[in-house]
Structure 1
C-alpha cells in the first residue's frame, strides 16, 4: 500500500514538473515575447492574459470539486493537461482571439487540475505522511522552474529582440514538454482508498447506476461544503495568508522577470537574465520544499516558525528590489524605464532576490498545504478549492494592475498583506495545536 502511494506521489510530481516547465516558463517570458512580436494585427497583453487565467481560475474553483467528484482526479488531471498544452501551442502562431480564448480555457483547466491534485495527494497520504508527500510533490513541481528557464537563458543570451523563429522554436519545445507531462497522468494507479471502495462494491448488479448516483450526490455535497467552508473561522483567517500567496505568485512568476528584462542598466544580458531569474526562483522553491516539507516531519520545526521565516525572507527581498530596480520597470511602456533606482542595479542582488522570492513562496505554500491537509483530511477537495479560489482571485487582480502601478506600491501592498496573513496563520496554528493537546488529554 505504501509503495503504491509513494509511486503515485512521485508520478504526480513528475507530471506537474513537465507541464509547469512549459507553463511557468511561458508565464515568465510571455509579456516580453508579446512586446517583441512583429505583428501589427496582434494586440494582446501578457499581463492581461495571466489576469484572465487567474480570474477564470478563481471562479471555476467553486465548481471544480463537484466535477472532480463525478469524473475522478486522474481523468481530470489528464484533461486539464490538454488545455495547458493548447495554451502553449498558441504562442507558435499567435493571434489575439486565440490568445485570450485559450486564457479562459486554461483558467478553467487550472481549477480542475489543482483541485484534482489536492484530492489525489490527500488520497495517497495520511496524517503521518502528509508533510513528507507534500515536500516530495513540491520539490518535484518546483524543478519546473529550472529547465525551461535555462533554455531561455541559453537561447536568448545577448539578444535584445526576440525573433519569430526564436519564439517558434522555444514554444514547440515547451509544447512537447507539456504533452509529455499530460501523458504521464495515464500511468497513475488507483489510490488504496479507491481500491477499497471498489472491492466493497464488487458483485453488485447495479454497480454503474449506483456509482453514477453516488457521484452526483458527492458532487452536490462537495459544492455545499465549499460554500460552508467560506463561513468558518479557520478558512476566514487562512484566507489572508492565501491572498498573500496570490499577490506574490503574480510578482515572482510574471512581474519580477519583466522588471529584470526592462532594466536597461543590465545591458544586453537583460533578456537572458529573465531565464536565470526563473532558475534561481526554482532553486529557492526546491530548497524550501525539501527543507520545510521533507525535514519538517522529523524535526522540532513547526509550521508557525516556517511561515515566519518565509515572511522575513520575502520582506528582505522586497526591500532590496525597492532599492535596486527602477520604479517604473513593471509598467507597460514602449520605452525603457525612466526612473533611476536608489542603488545601481546589480545582477547579484537581482538573482539573490529571485532566490529569496522562491524560498519564501515555498515556506507559505508547503505549510498551507500541510495545515489544510491536516485540518480537512475528510474534506480535501473543497478545502484546496477554497485555497486556490482565494489565491487566484488575488493573483488575477495583481496581474491586471501590475502593468499600471509603480513597483513601490506593489511591494508595499505585499508587505501589508504578508504581515497580516502571517499573523492570521499563527492564530489558526495556535488554536489547532491547543485543540490537539486537549484531544490527547481526553
Structure 2
C-alpha cells in the first residue's frame, strides 16, 4: 500500500473508532432525558439537559488547554484516555446517582476537548489540499454511522414501551459501554504517515517547506524530546490557540461554527425528547426516538459520503453551494417541526405534551425532519472541517481546538436554555443564527479562494 493509501486507511480507522465511541455517546444523549423522566428513584434528581450543558461548558473551557495535552501525550494516548472518559459517563446510567452523573458530565467535557483536538490533528496530518475534502467527508460519514446502530437497538428494544424500566435501561447502557470501550482500542491501529516517519513533511506547491509540525504529529509523545521541551511546546500550543481567535479567518468562521453548536444541541438532545413526549404520535412514541436518531444518521451519512465523492467538483465550485444546501434543508425542517410538534414538547413531563400542534402529529413528517436535520448538519460540518483543515493545516491542533471551543460554548448555552424555552423560541434562534452563520462562511470562503489564487491560501502561523 502506497503512502496515500496508508493515509486514507488512517482516516478510515479514525472514523471507525469514533463511530464506536459515538454509537454509545450519541445514543446516550438522544435518550437520556427520556430515561431520566422514567426513573423511580429517591437518590437521583438530575436533568439530562443540565448534564449536557455541563459537558459542553467544561468542553469549551478545556479546549484552549487541549492542544497542550495532545502535544505532550501524543494523539494515540490522548484519544484513548479521552475515550475512556466517554465510557465512564455512559456506565453511570447503569446505577445512577446525581453526584456521579454530574461528575462524569464534567469529566467527559475534558475528554471531549482532548479527543476532538487530537482528531483534528490526525485528519490534517493525513490530508493535503487535494484530499482534505474527501477525507473530511469519509470521516464524517463513518462517524455518523454511529447514529444508526445504537438507535436501531433503541427502536427495537423499546417498541411498545410507554415507560422505561430499570432492566430496559441497564441492558441498553451496559451494551453501549462495551461498544464505547471497543472504539478506544481502535485508535492504536492508526499509523504515522510515511512522510513524518522519515522526518520530512510532505510539501505541496506554494507551502512553506519549513512549516513546523505540532508535537502531536509525531504520533507518540512518550519518546524523543525532553520533558522541558515538551512543556515549552505545550505552552506554545496554548498561546497559538489563544491568538488564533483574533485571526480574520477564524473570526469570519465563528458565526457558522456557533450555529453548528446550537443545532447540534437540537438534533442530538432536544428533538428526540420532543418526539418521545408527543402523545399524538401514538403508543410507540418512545421507540420513535431511536428511529428518529437513525434518520438523523442517514442524513449525516448521505451528506458526508456525497460531499466526499464530489470533492473534485466542490473544489471547482467552492464550499458555498453545500452550505446553502444545508441552510435550506434546516429551514425546511424547522418549519415542518413548528407545525408538527407541540410548543411545550421540550419541557413536557413523561406523560406527554399538553398542547396541540398546528397539524395532527405525523410520524412521517417527524422522521423526514430528522433526516433533514442530519443532512443540514453534515453540510455545515464537512465544509467547516474542510476549510479549517485547509487554511490552518500547519497549526491544525490549535485551529480545531478553537473550532470546538466556539461550538461547545454555544452548545452549552443551548442545552441550558432548553430547560425552560418552548419549541418556537428555540427554532427562531436557529433560524436567525443559521442565516448569519451562512453569510459569514461565504465571506471566509471568498477570502480563502482569493488567497489560493494569490498563492497564499494557507495560514502558516502566528
Q: 2:171 aligns with which of 164, 169, 179?
A: 169
Alignment of 1:245 onto 2:245: no
Q: Which whole-Å CA distance do the structure 1 matches of 2:87 and 2:15 have between them? A: 17
CA shift in 2, pair 1:42/1:192, >3 Å: same
Is the 8 Å Cα contact of residues 332 and 403 (structure 1) preserved in structure 2?
no
CA shift in 2, pair 1:167/1:334, >3 Å: closer
Is the 8 Å Cα contact of residues 296 and 302 (structure 1) preserved in structure 2?
no
Partner of 1:80: 82
Alignment of 1:158 onto 2:160: yes
Q: Which whole-Å CA distance do the structure 2 matches of 1:220 and 1:156 have between them? A: 49
Output aligned runs, 1:386-401, within 5 Å: 386-401=402-417
TM-score (norm 1): 0.95
Q: 2:338 aligns with which of 295, 303, 322?
A: 322
Partner of 1:189: 191
Q: Which whole-Å CA distance do the structure 1 matches of 2:223 and 2:389 have between them? A: 30
Is the 8 Å Cα contact of residues 134 and 307 (structure 2) preserved in structure 1?
no
Q: Flag structure 1 segments of 5+ consecutive residues without an equivalent.
A: 200-206
Report the Cα offset of residue 193 of structure 1: 4.5
Return 296-305 or 325-334, whichever deviates more. Answer: 296-305
Partner of 1:427: 443
Partner of 1:49: 51
Report the Cα offset of residue 344 of structure 1: 1.0
Partner of 2:282: 267
Q: Flag structure 2 segments of 5+ consecutive residues without an equivalent.
A: 202-221, 457-462
State the Cα deviation string for residues 398-419 of structure 1 (Å, max 9, x = none): 1111121010000000000000
Report the Cα offset of residue 209 of structure 1: 6.9
Root mean square deviation, CA, Å: 1.7
Is the 8 Å Cα contact of residues 124 and 192 (structure 1) preserved in structure 2?
no
Report the Cα offset of residue 195 of structure 1: 1.1
Q: Which whole-Å CA distance do the structure 2 matches of 1:10 and 1:216 have between them? A: 31
Q: 2:70 aligns with which of 51, 68, 71?
A: 68
Partner of 1:129: 131
Is the 8 Å Cα contact of residues 277 and 350 (structure 2) preserved in structure 1?
no
Partner of 1:10: 12
TM-score (norm 2): 0.91
Where 2:191 maps in the other structure, the secondary structure is coil
State the Cα deviation string for residues 102-132 of structure 1 (Å, max 9, x = none): 0000000000000000001111111111111
CA shift in 2, pair 1:347/1:208, >3 Å: closer
Alignment of 1:291 onto 2:293: no
Paired positions, count: 434
Q: Which whole-Å CA distance do the structure 1 matches of 2:40 and 2:317 have between them? A: 52
Report the Cα offset of residue 298 of structure 1: 4.1
Partner of 2:218: none
Where 1:91 maps in the other structure, the secondary structure is helix
CA shift in 2, pair 1:275/1:208, >3 Å: closer
Partner of 2:150: 148
